[in-house]
């Protein structure tokens, strides 16, 4: 259990920015269930869906960015939970790249690996482990996707793969939450920290593709996400 409460280079929950956030939100005054829900809702909706420079960045950088995807949001979520002594662990997978089609387009979609490193957080609450994948997409972005695709039940793309697209299980109330799990291919099992996970599994891009993604492709992907989020229906 000690390993599931520990800090690490990526889970830097003693960073002043994370400590200040917890104090500002007064999460330390809540009961455990309410702490988990409040932190989950914060990471889901106040950290917008978007693509950071890499997966293996510390929680404090994710918070500073103000956006994240499955892996980076997982790191921030875990750090905030552990700061409040709530045990959690990472479950590692790969997902099919079709999930990213939309933000990732054209030649860069063709050149990207077929299977992409993915993770969710598992949180121990009152003796039960809960899968927390549903925090990846902020609600404004998800709502716009639903409005753009009102007749879809099964939806794959734009950061989603679910067969309950109009009402996916993304709100947490002592339940598992999911938004991408239908795209899972490989199951790498459980890890005590994201540091341990990324020491064994990283995106299969190579140095040149990683450089291009970091400095160019991800910005185009974030611009496409922003366009979806700002879309307005015609009257």
What's the rounded mean pLDDT across residues 120-142?
Answer: 97
pLDDT band at 204 (very low <50, low <70, confident <90, very high): low
What's the whole-number mean pLDDT along residues 108-130? 92
Q: What average pLDDT does the segment 78-87 reach?
A: 98
Measured between alpha carbons, how far apart are the two ends of the chain, in Å?
55
Q: For residue 96, give the CATH number of its domain.
A: 3.10.620
Query: Alpha helix locations (H) across the chain?
Result: 16-25, 32-41, 59-65, 70-83, 106-111, 139-148, 194-200, 206-212, 218-229
pTM (2 decimals)?
A: 0.94
Total domain count for the chain? 1
Asked, for residue 235, whether it belongs to a domain, the answer is no
pLDDT above 90: percentage of residues in the chain: 82
**Residue 193 is part of which domain span?**
2-229
Residue 234 within any structural domain of the chain: no
For residue range 16-74, list pLDDT tens digits in order: 999 999 999 999 999 999 999 999 999 999 999 999 999 999 999 999 999 999 999 99
DSSP 51-78: --S-SS--HHHHHHHTEE-HHHHHHHHH
- The answer to whether residues 146 and 138 touch, using CB atoms and an 8 Å cutoff, is no
> Which alpha helices (DSSP H) does 137-217 contain, by range?
139-148, 194-200, 206-212
Q: Is 92 domain-assigned?
A: yes
- Residue 219 and residue 48 in contact, taking contact as beta carbons nearer than 8 Å: no
**pLDDT mean over 86-92:** 98
Q: How far apart are CA 23 and CA 17, in angstroms?
A: 10
Asked if residue 76 is part of any domain, the answer here is yes
pLDDT number for residue 235 = 45
């Amino acid at each position: 259990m000690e390993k599931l409460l520990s800090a690490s280079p990526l889970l830097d929950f003693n960073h002043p920015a994370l400590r200040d956030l917890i104090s500002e939100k007064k999460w330390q005054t809540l009961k455990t269930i309410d702490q988990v829900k409040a932190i989950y809702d914060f990471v889901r909706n106040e950290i917008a869906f978007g693509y950071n420079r890499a997966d293996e960045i510390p929680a404090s950088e994710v918070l500073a960015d103000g956006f994240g995807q499955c892996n980076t949001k997982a790191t921030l979520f875990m750090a905030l939970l552990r700061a409040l002594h709530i045990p959690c662990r990472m479950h590692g997978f790969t997902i099919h790249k079709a999930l990213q089609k939309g933000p990732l387009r054209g030649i860069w979609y063709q050149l990207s690996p077929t299977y992409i490193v993915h993770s969710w957080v598992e949180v121990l609450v009152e003796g039960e482990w809960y899968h927390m994948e549903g925090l990846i997409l902020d609600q404004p972005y998800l709502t716009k996707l639903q409005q753009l695709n009102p007749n879809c039940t099964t939806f794959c793309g734009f950061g989603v793969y679910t067969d309950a697209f109009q009402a996916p299980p993304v709100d947490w109330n002592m339940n598992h939450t999911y938004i991408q799990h239908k795209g899972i291919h490989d199951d790498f099992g459980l890890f005590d920290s994201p540091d341990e996970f990324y020491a064994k599994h990283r995106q299969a891009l190579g140095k040149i593709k990683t450089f291009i993604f970091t400095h160019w492709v991800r910005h185009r992907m974030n611009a496409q996400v922003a366009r979806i989020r700002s879309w307005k229906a015609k009257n």
